[in-house]
Amino acid sequence: MFLDLDKIKKRGFFDLQMEIDQEIKNNGLKRLPQIAEEVIGYINKATPADKIPTIIEVLKYIFKCSSTDNKIKNELLDQIDKYVSSRDNLILLNIALELLSECRPDDMLPGLTLIAKDRREDNNIRLHVLQCLRKIDPKKANNILLLDILEENNVQLSLAVLDVLEHYKDQVAFKKTQDTLEQIFRSSENLKLRCRAVELLGIFGEIDIIERICMLPLKPEIQASVQKMVQHIISKPRNILYIRPENFEHLIKEWLVTIGYEKVEVTPLSNDGGVDVIAYKQGQGVIGKTIKVIVQCKRYAGNPINLPMLEEFIIAYQKEEANEGLLITTSTFANDTKRLAKTHGFIELIDRNELQVQLDKAFGKDCYCIINRN
């Protein structure tokens, strides 16, 4: 026997660590599986009076020592893997879940998710599993499906799930997560859960969420969390697809002013005649000549701009007696729309890609983005 349980009760972790280091120095890493088996045996026999935290740290240190030898490391992992399916010793179960999550995340992720969602499982185990999920590199996950747990109305589990969602923020269903968080904020009776949900809306929400949340009656104890939400949203690129169409027109106005257009005005919302912005610029090569430019803004998420839309814009162009026209969209243009625009040299089409380039040039990268969330 390498270690003695009676000695563990009396001694600290660092003394045992030095003995393990000495054993490795004398006999190499091949001794580690045997030492681990002895420590696991101690945990199985331990009583509440024993120094369980110390024993756990010893076992974790043994795994840490094996990190330079994949063969020994995998032998140790196989050694403890059997405790994942066993409920005879919850301490060993939790240790196994933790170590395997760190060392074999690809294998463990599906199983951990299933345990976390299993309502028949002990809630303490589920909480530990949720903690383990946060140890896995989020890039190793494709989709994290834990929103069902939030329907159980268990505050402790719900808070743990929200922490996991933040950890995997790029791998969760964006729209469904946002809707769930907003529902928690509106309906939960637990203040801590409401605060956490609204803070996460700063991560999973876009600029439109600010208005929806801030229009609600906000108690003083919730306002600090709402401010965190707002600060997070305005610190990341503003997503144009989530601003109001009329605000998109004002953004285009700011862009035109920034790049040198003059007398830029947004037309009234009603009866604009298909013209959203009117601007002027100096003609090239002609001193004193002013060119009138009309702009139509189409803040669309999906369908391309079709031919009838361009034909309507050409009619507006003629009616306004403009010199140039800009048709700007956050979507794309259909092929026949592009062909017609080419026959009219005075019409310029700006699609989502070109618009992103122009906004980056005018306002700097990471100021605006055009991303259709799902």
Q: Is 41 inside a domain boundary?
A: no
208: left (phi over 0), alpha (psi -120 to 50) or beta: alpha
Q: Is 80 inside a domain boundary?
A: no
- Could you give the CA distance from residue 266 to residue 22 in angstroms, rounded to a whole number? 78
**Model confidence at 12: pLDDT above 80:** no
Instruction: Tell me the one-letter amino acid at 252.
Output: I
**Model confidence at 128: pLDDT above 60:** yes
Question: Average of pLDDT values for 172-191?
Answer: 92
What would the pLDDT profile of 62-96 be if each residue is shown by its tens digit?
A: 888 898 899 999 999 998 888 888 777 888 888 88
Q: Looking at the DSSP assignment, which residues form a beta bridge with residue 327?
A: 296, 349
pLDDT at 144: 72
pLDDT at 90: 83
Q: Is 142 inside a domain boundary?
A: no
pLDDT bucket at 310, cuts 50 / 70 / 90: very high
Nearest-10 crossing angle of helices 70-81, 52-65? 140
Q: Are 249 and 355 within one domain?
A: yes
Q: Is 42 inside a domain boundary?
A: no
Q: Are 355 and 266 within one domain?
A: yes
Q: Are 207 and 255 within one domain?
A: no
Q: Are 249 and 364 within one domain?
A: yes
pLDDT at 51: 63
pLDDT at 272: 62
What would the pLDDT profile of 223-281 be if each residue is shown by its tens digit?
A: 999 999 999 999 999 999 999 999 999 999 999 999 999 999 999 876 667 899 999 99
**Model confidence at 13: pLDDT above 80:** no
Residue at a domain's end among 236, 264, 283: 236
> Do the Cβ atoms of 89 and 83 come closer than 8 Å?
yes
pLDDT bucket at 357, cuts 50 / 70 / 90: very high
Q: Are 195 and 265 within one domain?
A: no
Of 221, 203, 201, residue with least CA distance to 213: 201
Q: Are 326 and 253 within one domain?
A: yes
- Could you give the CA distance from residue 367 to residue 224 in angstroms, rounded to a whole number? 25
Find the radius of gyration of the CA atoms of the chain. 31
The CATH number linked to 335 is 3.40.1350.10
pLDDT bucket at 212, cuts 50 / 70 / 90: very high
Q: Is 83 inside a domain boundary?
A: no
pLDDT at 207: 93
Please list, residue by residue across 101-113, b when 16 or more beta carbons sit within 10 angstroms of its beta carbon and e when fewer do: bbbebeebbeebb
Residue at a domain's end among 181, 213, 236: 236
Q: Is 322 inside a domain boundary?
A: yes
pLDDT bucket at 158, cuts 50 / 70 / 90: very high
- Could you give the CA distance from residue 22 to residue 31 in angstroms, rounded to a whole number? 11
Q: Is 14 inside a domain boundary?
A: no
What would the pLDDT profile of 189-203 be if each residue is shown by its tens digit?
A: 999 999 999 999 999
Q: How many domains would you assign to the chain?
A: 2
Q: Are 314 and 293 within one domain?
A: yes
pLDDT at 7: 62
Residues sharing a CB contact under 8 Å with residue 274, sequence separation 6 or more, in sequence order: 296, 312, 313, 315, 316
Residue at a domain's end among 194, 221, 236: 236
Q: Are 229 and 281 within one domain?
A: no
Q: Are 309 and 334 within one domain?
A: yes
Q: Are 281 and 307 within one domain?
A: yes
pLDDT at 249: 95
pLDDT at 10: 65
pLDDT at 16: 80
Question: Average of pLDDT values for 303-320?
Answer: 92
> Do the Cβ atoms of 251 and 362 come closer than 8 Å?
no
Q: Are 232 and 255 within one domain?
A: no
Q: Print the domain residue range for 222.
A: 173-236
Assessment of whether the complete model's pTM goes beyond 0.85: no
What would the pLDDT profile of 324-343 be if each residue is shown by its tens digit?
A: 999 999 999 999 999 999 99
**Model confidence at 5: pLDDT above 60:** no
Question: Average of pLDDT values for 8-16?
Answer: 70
pLDDT at 23: 85
- Could you give the CA distance from residue 352 to residue 341 in angstroms, rounded to a whole number? 17
> Do the Cβ atoms of 98 and 130 come closer than 8 Å?
no
Q: Are 204 and 261 within one domain?
A: no
Question: Average of pLDDT values for 298-318?
Answer: 91
CB-CB neighbours of 342 under 10 Å:
10
Q: Is 51 inside a domain boundary?
A: no
pLDDT at 92: 84
pLDDT at 2: 59
pLDDT at 150: 92
Instruction: Tell me the one-letter amino acid at 24.
Output: I
**Model confidence at 1: pLDDT above 60:** no
Residues sharing a CB contact under 8 Å with residue 73, sequence separation 6 or more, in sequence order: 63, 66, 67, 103
